[in-house]
Copies of this chain bind each other. A is one copy, B any other.
Amino acid sequence: MDQAAIPEIDPKRARVLEGAARVFLNYGFARTTMDDIARAAEMSRPALYCLFRNKTDIFRAIALSMLDQTVETMRRELEGDRPFAERMMAAIDKSFIAMTSLVNGSAHGAELLDMKNSLARDIVISWRGETSALLAGEIRKEALRLGVDLPSQGLSAEGLADLLLDGLEGLKGRIAAVDLQREAARAIVHAIERAIRP
């Protein structure tokens, strides 16, 4: 929390991150120069180096910021006492699907996802862990509400959360239309719901 919050509250850093994200999405990582980023953030190029060590760090900061925001959104949408499937779908829709559609609409979105697998691999792995734990907690809570002891049924909340995330990852690559993605996601949530019922 602390490590993520301190850089976030600096408005200059935020300006760079927003501008850089725009440029990255339009030109891709390799084709954007620090000068592009400086102009997008309305400051001189050297000033960037007071805020970030280099281009890679900016990219990683963007990834961290977006993924943190995703987790935050997901956590918020999971609150409340609406039915399990409804909360899960809202969380998925507002975080996971929203993020992919943002990236899909842009020219170099795919390239940036590749970058996440190399330049920001550790950040993505950590995000995956957080998200998985968050969803697993929700699944565990729902099982408890239903009076089901998952382990004794040969199930694990973590395993089901991973299944959900892998399923979302898979459908993201296979289905282009957002509404069909939502529909497929709903099917996955429903399958999990049925798996954990008494």
Instruction: Contacts A163-B167, A166-B167, A167-B166 given; indicate if A153 touches B194 (C-beta within 8 A).
Output: yes
Q: Which of A94-111 contact B (CB under 8 A)?
A: none
Q: Is B159 within 8 A of A187, CB to CB?
A: yes
Give the CA-CA distance A165 to B192 in the complex, in Å.
Answer: 15
Residue of B nearest to A168 (CB): B166
Give the CA-CA distance A170 to B169 in the complex, in Å.
Answer: 8
User: How far does the Cβ of A150 sit from chain B's closest Cβ, in whole Å?
Assistant: 10
Give the CA-CA distance A117 to B53 in the complex, in Å.
Answer: 35
A195 CB contacts on chain B under 8 angstroms = 191-192, 194-195
Copies of this chain present in the complex amount to 2
Residue of B155, B159, B190, B196 touching A184 (CB-CB under 8 A): B159
Q: Is A191 within 8 A of B192, CB to CB?
A: yes
In the complex, whether A90 has a CB less than 8 A from a CB of chain B is no
In the complex, whether A160 has a CB less than 8 A from a CB of chain B is yes
A169 CB contacts on chain B under 8 angstroms = 166, 170
Give the CA-CA distance A194 to B195 in the complex, in Å.
Answer: 5
Residues of A within 8 A of B (CB): 153-156, 159-160, 162-163, 165-167, 169-171, 174, 184, 187-188, 190-192, 194-196
